[in-house]
């Protein structure tokens, strides 16, 4: 019985604590279920309580590879089930977080083993004498702390800041779990058989071949765990890209519909306003106030000519907004150079571009700075789209794009990314920067796009 409690304290409890540390780091961004704060201590009590009979099983079958695998997989399965109960997330998200936590725990443990095995076989720890166990624990916990901090900054932080908004690719998740499963299997074989080959104490060998094989196995486990993290990055990035493409397709469909509606509406308004102005002009000499009314509606009887029927409609529509909000928008656009872009993409591109600029300048109190400049021109065999506007506040850039200032970042911020996606769709590239309180956005298309 003493042996059971020794195994419980030194193997089971240590493993659970290490695994739970990483579970906390990965799951802290997940949505908690109702009653989380009473569920969590109950789950921990059950988990550590179950550890005692598991320690007995380990003492009886831990020298067998499959017995050892059964122990760790059973505890891992309990952590997953308790995580699913404590968090209001789908099962695959919880499985994903727990899998990454197990990979992190195994990675840290194997990094420690590489250091310890090398040091022990070089005689680095031979002088510890009766305090060997104490010093061993101090080195182990110090290494665990240092490696945990490193793993957090290298992997955990990058994944958790995006995991709450992603939907997982189940095939990639299955591959991630498979790689981790192979790692656990190989680690169990290594631990069992290299323990039998050790002399004096575990992981110390009198045969240099055994030492080399042990270190190679440790390094292989580190690589496998790193692959798990790389696969997780791939899972999230592919899902985010797929999400952006789906959103862009939806936006383009909406843009095509909005263009048709706007074109019909503006055509009707222009026809009606032209007729009204004509009739008012006939009566203006008799009733002077009608001349002022005629000037007021002139804005509705204007057309912006760019060489692109679509941009004519879009810019006419936006000019009405500018008139209402005291914004000056200047345009020098050779719209004929843009005929290689499909209508839906073109409306989405310039619609987002202009809307972002107008949203920025309408917040500016100084009327002299409520200006938006838009230029489309061919230069040096390239087609340039340039937009400039003043702004107030601080812009933060991420991946070359300004981060949305709106509170809900999961459902906003697609505008700038959609601009870049459309530009790249047609072989172009987009850049944005700030200089002297002026926001600059440039899109460059290759010469093959120009007629």
pLDDT tens, residue by residue, 248-282: 666 666 566 666 655 666 565 565 565 555 555 55
Contact between residue 328 and residue 372 where contact means Cβ atoms under 8 Å apart? yes
Three-state SS for 124?
coil
pLDDT digits (tens, 9 = 90+) for 318-340: 887 888 788 898 888 888 888 88
pLDDT in tens, 336-356: 888 888 887 888 888 888 888
Final residue belonging to a domain, choices 241, 266, 288: 241
167 and 94 share a domain? yes
Q: Is residue 201 part of a domain?
A: yes
Does one domain contain both 322 and 225? no
Q: How many domains are there within the chain?
A: 2
Is residue 439 included in any domain, yes or no?
yes
Same domain, 153 and 6: yes
- Residue 374: pLDDT above 70? yes
Same domain, 222 and 328: no
Task: Report the CATH number at residue 363.
Answer: 3.30.565.10
Q: How far apart are CA 246 and CA 238, in angstroms?
A: 12
In the chain the first and final C-alpha atoms are separated, in Å, by: 86
Domain identity same for 190 and 60:
yes
Tell me, yes or no, whether 235 and 310 share the same domain: no
Shared domain check, 314 and 396: yes
Token pair 């290299």 in the structure block, residue: 194
Among 25-39, 149-163, 234-248, 421-435, name the one with the lowest average pLDDT: 234-248
Given 241, 267, 296, the domain boundary residue is 241
Both 182 and 68 in one domain: the answer is yes
Residue ranges in 284-399 assigned as alpha helix (H): 289-296, 309-324, 343-361
Range of the domain at 314: 306-449
Asked whether residue 256 is assigned to any structural domain, the reply reads no
**Is the overall model pTM greater than 0.85, yes or no?**
no
Q: Is residue 86 included in any domain, yes or no?
A: yes
Question: Does the structure show a pLDDT above 80 at 22?
Answer: yes
366, 411, 361, 365: which is closest to 390 by C-alpha? 361
Residue after which a domain boundary falls, among 241, 263, 284: 241
Q: Are residues 230 and 346 in the same domain?
A: no
Give a yes or no: residue 276 inside a domain: no
In the block, which residue shows the tokens 């901090």? Answer: 149
Does residue 155 sit within a domain? yes
218 plus 311 within the same structural domain: no
* Structure-model confidence comparison of residues 416 and 17, the more confident one: 17
In a domain, 393, yes or no: yes
| Residues β-bridged to residue 215 | none
User: Between the CA of residue 38 and those of 43, 45, 80, 87, what are the distances in Å?
Assistant: 9, 11, 17, 12
226 and 319 assigned to the same domain: no
| Residue 295 in domain | no
Mean local confidence (pLDDT), 17-33:
91
Q: Which tokens sit at 298?
A: 């002139």
Task: For residues 172 and 25, state if they share a domain.
Answer: yes
Neighbours of 121 (CB within 10 A): 18
Q: Are 307 and 336 spatial neighbours (Cβ–Cβ below 8 Å)?
A: yes
Q: Is the pLDDT of residue 149 over 90?
A: yes
């Amino acid at each position: 019985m003493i042996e059971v409690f020794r195994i419980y304290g030194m193997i089971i409890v240590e493993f659970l604590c290490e695994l739970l540390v990483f579970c906390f780091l990965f799951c802290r961004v997940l949505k908690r279920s109702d009653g989380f704060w009473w569920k969590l201590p109950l789950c921990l009590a059950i988990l550590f309580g179950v550890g005692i009979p598991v320690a007995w099983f380990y003492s009886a079958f831990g020298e067998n590879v499959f017995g050892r695998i059964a122990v760790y997989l059973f505890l891992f399965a309990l952590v997953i089930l308790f995580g699913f109960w404590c968090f209001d997330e789908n099962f695959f998200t919880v499985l994903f977080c727990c899998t990454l936590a197990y990979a992190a725990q195994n990675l840290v443990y194997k990094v420690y083993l590489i250091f310890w095995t090398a040091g022990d076989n070089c005689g680095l720890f031979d002088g510890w004498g009766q305090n060997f166990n104490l010093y061993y624990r101090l080195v182990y916990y110090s290494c665990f702390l240092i490696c945990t901090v490193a793993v957090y900054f290298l992997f955990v932080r990058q994944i958790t800041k995006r995991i709450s908004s992603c939907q997982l690719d189940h095939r990639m998740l299955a591959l991630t779990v498979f790689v981790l499963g192979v790692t656990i299997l190989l680690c169990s074989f290594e631990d069992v058989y290299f323990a039998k080959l050790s002399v004096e104490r575990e992981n110390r060998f009198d045969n240099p071949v055994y030492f080399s094989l042990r270190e190679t196995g440790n390094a292989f486990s580190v690589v496998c765990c790193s692959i798990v993290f790389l696969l997780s990055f791939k899972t999230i990035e592919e899902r985010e890209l797929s999400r952006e493409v789906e959103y862009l397709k939806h936006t383009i469909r909406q843009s095509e519909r909005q263009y048709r509606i706007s074109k019909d509406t503006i055509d009707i308004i222009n026809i009606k306003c032209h007729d009204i102005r004509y009739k008012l002009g006939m009566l203006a000499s008799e009733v002077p106030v009608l001349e002022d009314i005629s000037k007021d509606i002139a804005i509705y009887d204007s057309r912006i000519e760019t060489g692109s029927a679509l941009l004519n409609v879009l810019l006419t529509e936006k000019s009405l907004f500018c008139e209402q909000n005291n914004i000056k928008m200047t345009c020098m656009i050779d719209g004929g150079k843009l005929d290689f872009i499909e209508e839906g993409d073109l409306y989405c591109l310039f619609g987002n571009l202009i809307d972002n600029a107008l949203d920025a300048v309408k917040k500016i109190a100084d009327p002299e700075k409520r200006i938006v400049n838009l230029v489309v021109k061919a230069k040096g065999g390239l087609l340039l789209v340039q937009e400039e506007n003043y702004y107030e506040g601080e812009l933060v850039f991420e991946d070359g794009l300004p981060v949305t200032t709106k509170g809900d970042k999961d459902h906003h911020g697609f505008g700038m990314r959609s601009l870049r996606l459309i530009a790249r769709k047609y072989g172009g590239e987009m850049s944005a920067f700030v200089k002297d309180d002026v926001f600059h956005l440039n899109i460059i298309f290759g010469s093959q796009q120009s007629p």
